[in-house]
A and B are shown apart, each in its own frame.
Chain A
Amino acid sequence: MGNSQNKQASESQTADSSDVYTNSFVPYVNKWGRRTNFLAVGLSLGPAVALLAVFGILPPTAAIVGAIVSVAITFGWDWFIEPLSYYPVLGIPGTYMAFLSGNISNLRLPCAAAAQEASDVETGTPQASIISTVAIAASIFVNTAMLGVGAVALVSAFQALPELWKNALESYLVPAVFGAIFAQFGRDYPKVASIGFAIALGMTLLLELGYLAFLPSYPLYAVIIVSVFGTTLIAREMWKRDMISPPEADE
């Protein structure tokens, strides 16, 4: 029996290897991927729990709910769209690993792609998925170590900075990052970007000048909702009228 299996293996290696892949590798990865990613949901609460348990700091429920709703309005789409759109490239194991470890487009995808290229496996095959898994695992070890050492070093460096620079870092890095990311997304849809900015600026000015005071509590949520959904609705109408289209070639 063992003999005939071996013979078969040498005769039709591709069929056999996809058997190992679908019947052994993928079920194992699904089982452990589900468990580890779900476990991480609980453990990622670590700092929030430490703030409560050690320092007794717990924000009012209303603030947490308000923040979560704002985050969900802003990023809720991406929770579903990103896994769906990266899945064909990352494969099953890569999807579990990449969404657990983050930095997907700038780190995991390039590592997986480079490794497939270097190992000379054909994209989309089980072999390619295995090589991606190996490469993403390697990238996780490297970036965890580098960010760990870097974070400790950067914290000390930051605390040793003169007050002017410390204030500058606190005040101006954030707007620069926001500007850069807005530009990155806006590159593909400049019209949508300008409309979105006009809406958001208008709403922010209305808020700061007190014209939204008729709304209950601090009406920041109104600014977010109108900015996000207003821009989305207008973009949809523009798309229907063929005024905008997704970029052709993906990177």
Chain B
Amino acid sequence: MVSHELVSITPAYMDVANSRWLWLSTVPVVLVVLMQAAIFLRRAWNDGREMGLSEEKLKTGFKTGVISAIGPSVAVLAGMLALIATVGGPVAWMRLTVIGSVAFELPAAELGVSQFGYSLGDEGITEQAYATAVWAMTLGGTGWLLVSAFGTRHMEMVRTKISNGNEKLLPVVSAAAMLGAFAYFLSGEATAGTPETGSIAVGGLTMLGLLHLADSRDVQWLREWALGVAMFVGLLVGVAIRVTVGSWW
């Protein structure tokens, strides 16, 4: 499976993380996602016909769904590399097919290994620290699942209730909490060394530039690719700094 001369310095938990058992353990939940998609699709198709939607329109809807999913999926795949490098293939695949996105899974994994004083990418991350990352992603992701499972029926009511208050404050509070949390992740990485700081700064600036371009020219695909591109530019700058000036702290 894995040739050992190649993985000698790679953390030991990676053998476990990419093992056949972990691939197998991801299958049931992915099957549930596919099953839900299949039964909703069948019902939507039949009821849609009854509602007077032509076979033509339904097919167009399906085809557009397929085509529109290809570009973003490739973009997600690029972002998945960061997860594959840190938590292994099976978990990366499962978390990005089900529930998650790179923007949640990576921080959740970081919070997991940080319980042992590690940061993702550190040498010597133990199997226990890795397992904590898996638990953090899994249990953290259930928040959305539970709210959608039991809350969707009540959404309409809740929305009207909230909008009686100051609904404008909600996005502000939510964005501020997110910024505070990511600021914390950033400072953890920034204090790790100069290359990391360079990766952060350039990753962020690239993102700003691409999103600005996407907005001003209204280019949707650029928005989808922004994270993937920013990630790679940031990576290259990190490597460049390490092989040239090294780390100053």
Contact = CB atoms under 8 A, between A and B. Distances in A.
Interface string B85-103: 1101111111111111111
Contact of B202 (A28, A50, A179): A179
Contacts of B188: 204
Contacts of A181: 103, 182, 207, 227
A203 B47 CA distance: 56
Contacts, number: 635
B144 A79 contact: yes
Given A146-B73, A172-B235, A176-B233, A141 B177 contact: no
Contacts of B106: 174, 177-178
B222 interface: no
A215 interface: no
Contacts of A160: 6
B143 A110 contact: no
B186 A154 contact: no
A212 interface: no
Interface of B is mostly: helix
Q: Lowest 9 CB-CB distances: which A-B pairs, in order?
A: A176-B234, A172-B238, A138-B65, A231-B180, A135-B65, A176-B203, A235-B176, A79-B143, A17-B51
A121 B54 CA distance: 11
Interface string B183-226: 11111111110011101111111111001000000001001101
Contact of B2 (A79, A85, A120, A159): A159
26 contacts: A37-B146, A40-B145, A46-B25, A47-B134, A57-B127, A70-B115, A77-B177, A87-B155, A103-B96, A106-B227, A111-B72, A114-B64, A144-B97, A173-B231, A174-B106, A174-B120, A175-B199, A176-B234, A179-B199, A179-B202, A180-B207, A180-B226, A203-B187, A218-B117, A224-B181, A230-B180
Given A96-B148, A168-B239, 10 more contacts: A63-B116, A83-B147, A83-B148, A96-B149, A130-B48, A131-B61, A151-B80, A180-B206, A184-B211, A227-B184
A66 B106 CA distance: 17
A126 B51 contact: yes
